[in-house]
């Protein structure tokens, strides 16, 4: 059988009923879970956890907010709206559960070893 989490139903159903569609939240990034090896290569403690941004989609929400992607020195997302994200899966899960296209989120990132907060207005996932 198919089971749909109630969190998803309560977020998506009202939009489907009202408009016939649902805009999935979109950051416009690809990345991976920060490994101890990558953390060390970035000059971070090996036990640093987060999501290393490897690519930022041109003109996407993350690019417009100034986020940087690179396999060797991309930004590392460590939290979204104050909630720690220790992996790409956790970032995706947070966006699916709580993200709303058109609303702002605050990303806590590590850039060049320094922590900073960046506001990003979520977009609607293309083709969704």
Report the SS3 class of residue 43.
coil
pLDDT recorded at residue 128 = 57
Structural domains in the chain plus CATH codes? 24-124 (2.30.42.10)
pTM of the model: 0.83
Residues 89 and 34: their CA atoms lie apart, in Å, by 12
Give mean pLDDT, residues 17-37: 81
In which band, very low, low, confident or very high, does the pLDDT at 32 lie, cut at 50, 70 and 90?
very high
**Contact yes or no for 98/81 (Cβ under 8 A):** yes
C-alpha pair distances (Å), 84 with each of 17, 64, 103: 33, 23, 19
- Pairing relation of β-strands 104-111 and 51-56? unpaired
Q: Identify the helix (H) or strand (E) that includes residue 9.
A: helix 6-19
pLDDT in tens, 55-87: 999 999 999 999 999 988 899 999 999 999 999
């Amino acid at each position: 059988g198919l089971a749909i989490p109630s969190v998803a139903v309560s977020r998506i159903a009202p939009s489907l009923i009202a408009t016939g569609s649902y805009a999935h939240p979109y950051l416009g990034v690809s990345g991976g879970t920060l490994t101890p090896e990558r953390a060390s290569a970035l000059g971070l403690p090996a036990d640093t956890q987060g999501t290393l941004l490897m690519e930022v989609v041109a003109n996407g929400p993350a690019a417009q907010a100034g986020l940087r992607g690179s396999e060797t020195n991309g930004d590392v997302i460590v939290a979204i709206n104050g909630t720690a994200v220790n992996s790409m899966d956790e970032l995706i899960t947070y966006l699916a559960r709580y993200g709303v296209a058109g609303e702002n989120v605050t990303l806590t990132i590590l850039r060049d070893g320094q922590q900073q907060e960046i506001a990003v207005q979520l977009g609607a996932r293309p083709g969704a």
